[in-house]
Amino acid sequence: MKFKTSKKNIKNNYYQIIGIGYCQAQYLLHYEDPIAYSAGIYGWSCDYYKINSNAIISTGYNSINGLKYKYELLDEYNKKAEKIVCNNSLEWEDKKHQVKHLLAEFVQLVLNPE
C-alpha cells in the first residue's frame, strides 16, 4: 500500500531521482508497485517507485524533475518491455524477471551516463 508524501520529503530523502512523464514508462514499471504518491490542490500529481536504496522514479502528470536522460533511451527500454509484457508465449514470472532486468539496466544507464 502506498502512502501520501510531499515532493519536498522525497527530494530531501533521495538524491537520485529519475523524473518520468505520465505513461511514458508504463511497461517498464508494469511489475513494480509504487511506494508513495504526491497530490496537490488539483489531485494526484505523481507516484514514486523505489528502485534501489538510493534511486527513486517519480512518474505522473506533475513528476519531480530529476536526473537528465535522453527521451529516446526511455522510449527504447519501454518498447523492449512492451514486447515482453505483451508476449503471450512467456510465463508471468519470466516476463517479470525480464522486465525488472530492463528496468535495472535503464536506471544504471541514467545514473551512470557514459
DSSP helix/strand/coil, 31: coil
pLDDT digit string, tens, across residues 47-99: 999 988 778 999 999 999 888 999 999 999 999 999 999 999 999 999 999 99
**Neighbouring-strand partners of residue 93:** none
Locate 48 and state its grid cell: 514514486
The residues facing 3 across adjacent strands are 36
Overall domain count for the chain: 1
Domain housing 80: 3-111
96-106 pLDDT per residue, tens: 999 999 999 99
pTM of the model: 0.91
